[in-house]
Structures are given as structure tokens and as C-alpha cells.
Structure 1
Amino acid sequence: MSSETQDLYPIAVLIDELKHDDVALRLAAIRRISTIALALGADRTRDELIPFLDESIDDEDEVLLALAEELGSFAEFVGGPLFAHLLLTPLETLAAVEETVVREKAVESTAKIGQILSSAQIEEFYIPMVNRLSKGDWFTSRTSACGLYAPIYHLASPRTQEDLRALYATLCNDETPMVRRAGATNLAKLVKKLSKQHVVTEMFPLFSALAQDEQDSVRLLTVEGFISIADVLSPEETKAMLLNILRSMCVDKSWRVRYMIAEKFVAVSKSVGADIVREDLIHAFVQVLKDNEAEVRTAASTQAPGFSAMIDKETVLREILPCIRDLVVDTSQHVRAALATEISGFAPILGKESTIEHLLPLFLQLLKDEASEVRLNIISKLDKVNDVIGIELLSQSLLPAIVELAEDKQWRVRLAIIENIPLLASQLGVKFFDEKLGALCMTWLGDCVFSIREAATTNLRKLTEVFGYDWAKQTIIPKVLAMGQHSNYLYRMTTIFAITTFAHVVNGEVLKDLIVPTVTSLAADPIPNIRFNVAKSMEELVPLLKKTGLSGLLGDPIKLSLLKLSEDKDTDVRFFANRALAALTA
């Protein structure tokens, strides 16, 4: 192959692959363009590859998405920031395609390129591109343009900044709702780059119009813009300019708008200042907590502790807590589940006495909820209440709820409570655990579902990490070892899994005196599945024994057991035994 032919080879291969009928092959070719660019060098990448890629933007969305992503990190392959503006040409084309995800990725990559351009390149190449997209015939290009102002605004000259603000205003007033949505979405980002004067005189009128748009899909996107503008204004200006708009959002006829304001209520409250929160937002928050739509109440539930932390305790007890009592018995399981996750956040706000009097009854009511998700959410957040009132008061109703969940007919519920046991153990302490939950953890080892038995062994390892291996040696390990003598082979199998898991968190003494003897004794088990799992366990024990200075055990009894297993009549047993022997001699 001549040097000239060899030089042309990478681009020729790429051309062939991008013209191939197989989408997967075309996608793989796009994923390799950085490698091809390296082979071509910066000059040929600029002169040949980039023009070719620009001409190739007529493909499946999956391929175009990959191209848009690759171009965002392609500056080094065209010769660095000095030539990075060349990437704007294919990205401009991608920013105008029909598929939304492709456009979004193209905008993200274009903004990334814009960050490394010089002011001269911004003025000469980036701004004209933004102009073309902003004035495009199709809404797709105008939608993409909205996301390209904020990333480079601070890099543009004052005169260009003035033009950019005027052009952005036309997009926010576009006749197409999709463009106005994009304008509302990106308004907050642009506001953060502007001076207060420009925010007040130019951005606020745009925000006000968008917040009152006839399309609820536009109005719901103005919440972030509200927060950004409020951060710029003084409390007095916020009250004069934004308060009526906020009130309107809280009672908007569209539940989706109310949902968005409910979901961001804490952030909104922080942006407007303590006075407005105290004087005006308490009633507004009560409204969203009592909203007719379950989705809005769900969002408001997640904000309740955060908002309550911003007002005084008496007001929380008088205004907010009655709403929380209603939500505890809400008809929607999603509302109750969301509240269960957050309700413990009230404990530090209310203090011990009020928590015991007002919060604990609600807490215990949720622990008895018919939906297991609600009960699980409560249990997973015990620490905050425990810190305030102590475990004795909680344990009286806590234990029945845990036992009920542990015996739930849905194995996924049982799995979820097992995963929460180490957290509970760390919160409740070793004494409570040994008295109330230790036996429960052992019963899971005999569960009829393998995933539960597997999770139960992992649970015991995590408990050992919480309480220490001395505790495990005295409390858990003897019970696990006793299962190795059980007549049911599943119990013996679980013993192998459990002690192999334990081996990673115990000391050399436990390894030597308890774990190794149990594993080797099970090597003679009549069930082949037990024997090959013994071989797998021994393979895992080998590096642990070496690490803890117990290499003497690798000969007798480990090696002798493996040699015997390597001659087993069962093929699988021989395979795993030989693999363990290989690890032993490595």
C-alpha cells in the first residue's frame, strides 16, 4: 500500500462504514472518529473529516446523537481552541434536526465549544450562528438557539450583549409554544449572567409574560426563572414585583404548574427572604399541602420539613402540622410514601416534647400503614427521630412493624427490610438488636427465595462491620455454623455462602478456628452443589489466608480437600476444584 493510499485509508474506511446499511456499524464508526482524527492529524481533520461529517448529517437519530456528543470533545483533534470554531458548522446543522434529544445534545456540545473560544471567535463565528438559529424558519432551530445565549454571554462585547438580549426577547415572544418553552427553560441561566439593571428592565417583563402564558407547559417552566430573578432583587423589590405572580402560581388552574411550584417551594422561599415567607407564603404552602391533586400534595410533602425550618415552631404546630395529620391518612399511597420519607425531618424542628406529643402518633400511624412502601420509608429514616426522643419510645411500635415487613408475602418487601437492617442496627444499638432482631436475621437465611437468602448473608457481613467481629464470633457465627449440620441441603448451602461472606470482615483467629474447618468439613457433602460451592469458597479464601498470614492452612486442610474434589465424579465439582487449585499455586 502506497503512503498516499495509506493516508487516505482512515477516511475511506469511515466513508464506507457511514454508508453501510447496518445502523450499528454506522454508530460504531461515529464512536471511532476521534481515533480516525488522530490518524489523520489536525490539518486533514479540519480539511477533510469535518466537512465530510457535516455532509453526512442525514442519518438515524441514534447515529446523529452519537455525533453530537463526540463533537463536544473534538476541539483537540482539530488543532485546539484556535480552530474549535470549525466544529460549530456541523453542530449548527444538528441543532436544527427534528429529534429533540439530538438537538439537546448538540446544544450541550455547542455550549461546551463556546466556552473555549476567544472573544474574536465568539463575535465572528458563534454569534452569527446564534442569529441564524434564532431566526430559522423551523421552530426546531429557534428552540435550540435559546440554550446558546447564556454560555457565552459574558464573553461577548457590550454591543453584542445588547443584541443578544433583544434577540432572546423575540424568542420568548415566539408564536410557537415549543420556542417559548425553551425560552422559559433557559431564562434562569441567562438571568445569572446579567446585571441587576438588565434583569429588572428587560428580563423581568419577559418572565412576567411567560408566567402568564396561555400554555401551561410554558408557565410551569418559569419557576426556576422566578428563583433566579428573586435572588437578584431586594426583599422590597421582590414583594413589589414577584409576590402576585407567586400567588398566582400557587393557585394556577393547571395542576402541573402547582406541582412545579410545590416541588420547588423551599428554594422559592429561600429566594424571597424571611419576611415574605412569614407574611405571605405560609398560607400559600398550606394551600399546596391541601391541593386537590395527589401529585401536588406529594411534591408539597417532600418540602414540608424544609419549609417548616424557615418559620417558628408555634406556626408549624398551628398551620403546618394539621395538614400533615391529613396527609398521614391521605387516600393516595404515593402521598403517604413521600410523607413517610420526610416526616422524621420535623423532629429536630419540634424538639423532644412536641415530637413525642404531636409527631410520634403520626409516625407510629405510618408504621402501621397498609402499604409496605410507606412502612419501609419510615423505618429507613429512623435516625432523626431517634436522635430527638430516644429508641425506647420508638421500639414499642417499631418492632411489630419490622416483624410484619420481614414476613411479608412479597419477597421484594422482605428484601427491602433486610437492606435496611444494618442502618437500623447502627441506630438501635447492639443490645436492642440482639434482643429483638437477631433471631429475625437468622430466619432469613432459611427463606424459600434465593435472593432473600443471599441478601441475608450480605446483611450479616454488614452487621459484623457495624458491631465488630468479636460480636459476630459470639452471636452470629455459631448459629450459622450450626446450620452446616442441617438435614436440608439449602441450609448447608447458605452456610457456605454466609461464612465465605463473613471471611472478608473477620480476623485470622476466626478464619482459622471456625470458617476453614466448616468449609473443609462440607467438602465431603453428598450433594454435588454443596461440593462445588465449597470449591468456589476455597478459591475465595485462598487470598484471605495469605493476607492474614495463615498460609499454613493452604496445604492441609485446604489443598488436600481440593485435591480430593478435583477427582470428584461430578464435572462441575472438578472444574471449580481445579480452578481453586490454580489460585492456590499462583
Structure 2
Amino acid sequence: MADSKPTSSDLFPISVFIDELRNEDLQVRLKSVNKLPTIALALGIEKTRNELIPFLATLIYDDDMVLLALAEKLSTFIPLIGGPEYAHCLLIPLEALTSVEETIVRDRAVDSLRTISSYFSPTNLEEHFIPMVNRLALGDWFTTRCSSCGLFKVCYTRVSPAAKATLRNLFYNLCQDESPLVRHAAAGKLGEFARVIEMEFLRSDLIPVFMSLVQDEQDYVRLLAIEACVGIATLLPLADVKSLIMPALNHAFADMSWRVRCKIAEKITELQRIVGYETSKTELLPVFQSLLKDTQLEVRATATTSVKKFCENLNPQQRDKIIISHILPYLRELVADPSQRVKSALSLVIGGLSPMLGKQHTIDLLLPLILTQLKDEAAEVRLNIILNMKCIVEVIGMQQLIQSLLPTILELAEDTKWRVKVAVIEFMPQLAGQLGMEFFDENLSSIYMNCLMDHVFAVRKTAALNLKKLIGSFGSEWAENKVIPRVLTLARSQNYLFRVTFLACVKILTEACGHRFMEKILFPTLLSMVNDSTANVRLNVAKIIQKIGPSLDPSYVKKEIKPILDKLAIDADEDVKFFALEAHEVIETVIVNLT
């Protein structure tokens, strides 16, 4: 009788894999774990389920990197062990991994358990998964109890009422565990568990647990309880939020830990949308005021970031009065706050109050604060105000801007910080469109054109790019009379960087004014720069020709441009030759179209 053909598992005995995992070299072991799916396919379903999986449960004393890779790979093993009916086989190694000391390994194991739980039928959940959760939740080590907290949500909705009762009791006990780390883990999963349990148990059992966590002796537990409160509040009717959630939060609002108060400042606008206008005004407004004047700068900064959203969530019919009476007095103090971080946070949102206050209140009450921030010693504060100027202009109008803000903006155009200059330059086309050509020429033109010769590249580049917007507002005749004479001076500068800026302006002006207009005015100077002493300038001549060549008149290209590129193609500098040849390929297409 002929010998039977050997199977893939015979060709790859599990002992080979075991030897690799016992290797002293970490990289060898890690590589072996990463190819687990391939090994499982070689072994076959039976050997994978009966030999490989039980062996993997013995690896929990290996290096954390190996365990992390193992926890991740096991989540993909359902097809390799015979399908969902054998999913419980994977619980053995994953349960072992939930007990290790390294948090990231435990979390990855929990993630894998949550993934494979969807493959369990309700019967298998109660037969295999729930007993595992029970073992973890009642384990002697805090690590298993911490891991169990992430598993309640994924199985609760698909089991019997008796099993649900068991899960609820286990979770409540974890929330009151003697270990702060376990209570912390339970508080972190409180919100997601609240979303799956029945309303009657949410009211009767989970809310008291929440109240105990909000008053926990450890601030990092209280912090996560505050994180969960918004999710819980969204599940309850408004009356229950006021009677059950707000009393617990009232205790937290004056928490001794600044981290907890910071979390409240972060979540307060979400609470506003839940509790409604009246409770927001009577209970949350005083809390928000205290957060804005908190002794800890992190709390003030977080609360300040929420100013605009908090005001938007107020009753529209009373909003402006509430802002004027209860918010602006605190903002006046924040404008002079000793912390730059707080002032910077305010500068990002203060302009957003103008649509809510209206034109007159903005001019009378908000504008003085904005002017103060425009003159702040911190460049970031000044920059943020400029970047958020649009909404202020839309409310107060350009005329008021000219009277109140323009002098300060002109000062900022010569600011020592280049980012502030860039922000002002980007804002100038909008100003120009509103103020008109005559006003721009008298007040802004010289400042703008000086930016083309700034010592910072970003300023020069921004000024060049925004020329196109200005020409769009004022026309090509204005460009010929006001812009081009100044641009031509760049080509004659002793500084090669300014000559490169001229080349950038040529491209932008050609796009804005049309190539026929530019052929007569700028191109002669452009083409003369083929003899420039600096290779970087000659290189940029080739680049500009490559970009604008296809838009030029073919006869002009053949007569004027091609000889220039021919000269650059034999330049002594290799980079110049490279870009010249690239440009040559582009214009050859133009010349071919001519013939």
C-alpha cells in the first residue's frame, strides 16, 4: 500500500514553533508570534485548537512586546480554530493575558475579548464567557478585576435576566472595590455600561454607584466619574437629571483637585445642552464663573476655551444680557491674566461673542478687550486675534474697524514676530476689498510692498501670493502702476533672495494679469536674469519658465524663451541644467503646437 501524502501539520510540527518561542533572542520570539496565523494554517484546525491554543496560555511570563503581539493576533483566530462555535477556546490564553502586570497588554487582551465576544451565541456566552468574567471580577489580583470592567457591556444585552443580575452585582462591587485602581477602571467603563442596562436599574442601582464614585477619595477616580456623567445624563429624562445627577455634580463643582475642576470645565457645555436654559442659568452659570476665576491656570484656560460655546448654549432671548452682566466682567480680568496660556485661549474665542452681542455692544464693551489683546506682549495672542478678525468685521462693519482697529493692525504689520506679519498680510486683501483702492494706496500699500523684501521667507512668500487677490480687487491697470515698478526693484537687488522673490512674483502676476500683458513688461527682465551670478536665481528662472511656458504665445516661446533655455541647458551648475532640461521638454510641446 502506497504511503499517504504528508499533511501540512506533519511538515510543520508544533515543536518547531515552541523552539522558536523558547529562543533567547526577543526578535526571534516576536517574529514567531507575528506569524501565528500562518503557523495555525500550517497546523490545521484540530492541532491549532487542541495543541497550539493551550500552549499559548503558558506564555504569560514572556516579554511584554511578545505578549502584546499575542493578544492582538488572537482576535483574528476564529476562522483558524473552526469558526464561532469554538470561540470559547480562545478564552484560555486571553484570560491569562488579562492578569499580567503591564497595562497595555491587559488592555489589548480585553480588546480582543470584546472582539471575539460577538461570535458567541447567547448560550455560549452564559456557558463560557460569563463564568470567565466572574472569575476575573472576583480574582485575587487587582489586574484581573481591572480587566473585567471592560467586558460587561459586550455581553450584558444578550444573556438571560439571571445572568444580567449577576453581571450588575459584579460591576457594582467593582465600583466599590478596595483597590483605587479597580475603582478607576470601573469608573472608566461606567458610561458605556449605563447605556446597556435597563432604565429601572440605571435609576435604582447605577446612579448611587455614580454618586459614590464622584465622591471617591482618589481624584483620578472622581475625574473619570465626571467623564461618565454626561453619558449617563443623556439617558435620563430632564427631571431625573435635575434630581439624581445635579446633586452629585454640585459636590464635584467645588472639588479640591484642579484636575477634576478642569474636567468639569471641559464637560460643562455638554451638560448645558442636556439640562436646558433655566438650569444652565441658575446652576451652571455660577459654576462657570468660578471656573473662569479659578486659582489654577489649567482650569481657567480650559474654561476660557469654552466661553463661546457656553454663551451659545444660553437662552437666545436673554443671551446678550447674561453675557454682559455675568460673563464680560470675568473676561476683563482674563485679558490681563498673568498666564499667557489663558490669554491665548481667550484670544481664540473672544471674537466669536460679537455676533451674540450685536454691533453696539461689541463696539462699546467687546472692542476695548480686543484692542487690549491686539497690543498684548505675547505674539500668539496678537496672532489669534488677527486670525479671528473676520467675524468681528462682519458685526461692527469696516468703518468702525478703520476708526478703532486699523491703527493697531498697521502696527502689527511691522511686528517683530513673523507669524503675526503673515497673519496681517493674509488679512490685507480683505481690508483692501472693503476699504477701496485709494485708501489702500494711501495707508497700506507701502507696508504691504515692504513685506516683499522682508528678511523672513514666509513673509515674502505670503506677500507674493496675496498679490493675486489684490489685483483681483483693483485690476491690472493698478498692478501696472503700483505693483510692477516695486516688483522690478527686486530684480535689481543685491540680495539674491529678493531676486528669487521677483521670480515668484512674475508667475503670480502672469496668472493675475495675463501673459500677453506680462510679456511686454516683466519678461524682458526675467529673461535677462539668465546671466545672474547666482545659480539659485538661474535655477528659478528655469522653474518659472516651466510653469508659465504652456500659457505663453507659441511664437513668443520659440523666439524668446527657447534660446534662454538652450543657454541654461549648458550651464556650469548641474542643478540649473537639470531644471532647464525639464523646462525644455515642456516648451517643446508648445513649439510643436505652433508648427
Q: TM-score, normalised by structure 2?
A: 0.81
Partner residue of 1:457 out of 458, 461, 465: 461
1:533 equivalent in alignment to 2:536 = no
Q: Which residue of 2 aligns with 1:391?
A: 398
| Residue 166 of structure 1 pairs with residue 173 of structure 2 | no
Q: CA deviation at 1:390?
A: 1.6
Change in Cα spacing, 1:27 to 1:234, as seen in structure 2 (3 Å) is: same
Residue 405 of structure 2 aligns to a residue in which SS? helix
Return the alpha-carbon distance in structure 2 between the equivalents of residues 92 and 55 of structure 1: 11
Q: Contact (CA 8 Å) 2:398, 2:434: kept in 1 or not?
A: no
Deviations 1:306-350, CA, capped at 9 Å, x for gaps: 222314232322222211111111222211111111112221222
Which residue of 352, 362, 377 maps to 1:355? 362
* Segment drifting more, 195-204 vs 434-443: 434-443
Partner of 2:145: 142
Residue 196 (structure 2) aligned to one of 189, 193, 197: 193
For residues 556 and 75 of structure 2, the distance between their equivalents in structure 1, rounded to whole angstroms, comes to 56
Contact 1:461–1:505, Cα closer than 8 Å, also in 2: no
Q: Tell me how far apart the structure 2 counterparts of residues 89 and 204 of structure 1 sit (CA, whole Å).
A: 34
The match for 1:231 is 234
Deviations 1:121-175 (A, max 9, x none): 5444443443333233332332232223224433344333322221111211111
Q: Following the alignment from structure 1 to structure 2, what is the Cα–Cα distance between the partners of residues 387 and 210? A: 47
Q: Is the 8 A contact 2:487 2:505 kept in 1?
A: yes
Q: How does 1:77-476 map to 2 (within 5 A)?
A: 89-115=92-118, 117-309=120-312, 310-311=314-315, 312=318, 313-409=320-416, 413-415=417-419, 417-418=421-422, 421-422=425-426, 425-426=429-430, 429=433, 431=435, 434-435=440-441, 437=444, 439-450=446-457, 452-453=458-459, 456-458=460-462, 460-461=464-465, 464=468, 468=472, 475=479
What is the CA distance between 1:200 and its match in structure 2? 0.5
Aligned-partner Cα distance in 1 for 2:582–2:24: 44
2:592 equivalent in structure 1:
none
1:440–1:582 Cα change, 3 Å: same
Residue 85 of structure 1, CA deviation? 5.9
More deviation in 356-365 or 126-135?
A: 126-135
Question: CA deviation digits over 1:486-519, x for unaligned, max 9?
Answer: 2321111233345557788886667877787665
Inter-partner Cα distance in structure 2 for 1:516 and 1:92: 75
Moved more, 120-129 or 372-381: 120-129
SS of 1:445's equivalent in the other structure is helix
* Secondary structure of the corresponding residue to residue 269 of structure 1: helix
Q: Mean Cα displacement is larger for which, 510-519 or 298-307? A: 510-519
SS in 2 for 1:147: coil
Q: Deviation of residue 422 (structure 1)?
A: 3.3
The answer on whether the counterparts of 1:181 and 1:221 sit within 8 Å (CA) in structure 2 is yes
Q: Post-superposition shift, 1:267?
A: 0.9
Give the whole-Å Cα distance in 1 for the aligned partners of 2:103 and 2:372: 46
SS of equivalent to 1:97: coil
Per-residue deviation at 1:73?
Answer: 6.2
Distance in 1 of aligned mates of 2:229 and 2:140: 30
- Matches of 1:570 and 1:459, distance apart in 2: 30
- RMSD of aligned alpha carbons: 4.2
Which of 499, 507, 510 is residue 492 of structure 1 equivalent to? 499
- Is the CA contact 1:422–1:466 (under 8 Å) kept in the aligned structure 2? no
Q: Is the 8 A contact 2:468 2:508 kept in 1?
A: no
C-alpha separation between the residues in 2 aligned to 1:423 and 1:490?
Answer: 24
Q: Which residue matches 2:3?
A: none
Report the secondary structure of 1:213's partner residue.
Answer: coil
The amino acid that maps onto 2:493 is H
**Match of 1:429, as an amino acid?**
G
**CA distance in 2: counterparts of 1:501 and 1:344, whole angstroms:** 33
Residue 567 in 1 paired to residue 570 in 2? yes
Q: Distance in 2 between matches of 1:499 and 1:10?
A: 71
Larger displacement relative to structure 2 (302-311 or 318-327): 302-311
Deviations 1:371-421 (A, max 9, x none): 111111222222222222123323445344444444444xxx413541574
SS of the equivalent of 1:496 reads helix
Deviates more, 1:233-242 or 1:73-82: 73-82
Query: Is the 8 Å Cα contact of residues 78 and 86 (structure 2) preserved in structure 1?
Result: yes
How far apart, CA to CA, are the structure 2 residues paired with 1:144 and 1:249? 27
Identical amino acids, percent of aligned pairs: 37
Of structures 1 and 2, the larger Rg is shown by 2
Which stretches in structure 1 are left out of the alignment for 5+ residues?
none
- Equivalent AA in structure 1 for residue 450 of structure 2: T
Conserved? CA contact 1:523–1:534, under 8 Å: yes
Deviation per CA, 1:18-43: give whole Å up to 9, x if none.
957465x8767766767x47985984
- CA–CA distance in structure 2, aligned partners of residues 517 and 103 of structure 1: 71
Task: Answer whether contact 1:406 1:414 (CA < 8 A) is retained.
Answer: no
Q: 1:469 to 1:305 in 2, by over 3 A?
A: closer
Deviates more, 1:293-302 or 1:554-563: 554-563
Q: CA separation of 1:198/1:31 partners in 2, compared to 1, >3 Å: closer, same or farther? A: same
Question: Structure 2: which 5+ runs fail to align?
Answer: 1-5, 590-595
Mapped contact 2:452–2:463 kept (Cα < 8 A): no
Counterpart-to-counterpart distance in 2, 1:371 and 1:445: 25
Secondary structure of the structure 2 residue equivalent to 1:155 = coil
| More off after superposition, 563-572 vs 437-446 | 437-446
Query: Given that residues 250 and 287 in structure 1 are in contact (C-alpha distance below 8 angstroms), is that contact kept between their aligned partners in structure 2?
Result: no
Residues 353 and 202 (structure 1), Cα distance of their counterparts in 2 relative to 1, 3 Å cut: same
- Superposition deviation, residue 210 in structure 1: 0.2
CA distance in 1, matches of 2:83, 2:466: 50
Answer whether contact 2:98 2:147 (CA < 8 A) is retained.
yes
- Go from structure 1 to structure 2 and tell me whether the alpha carbon gap of 1:114 and 1:356 turns closer, same or farther (over 3 Å shift): farther
Distance 1:577 1:223, change over 3 A: same
Q: 2:553, 2:29 → 1: CA distance?
A: 55
Cα distance change on mapping 1:224 and 1:568 into 2, 3 Å: same
Query: Secondary structure, in 3 states, of the residue corresponding to 1:175?
Result: coil
Q: Distance in 2 between matches of 1:22 and 1:319?
A: 62
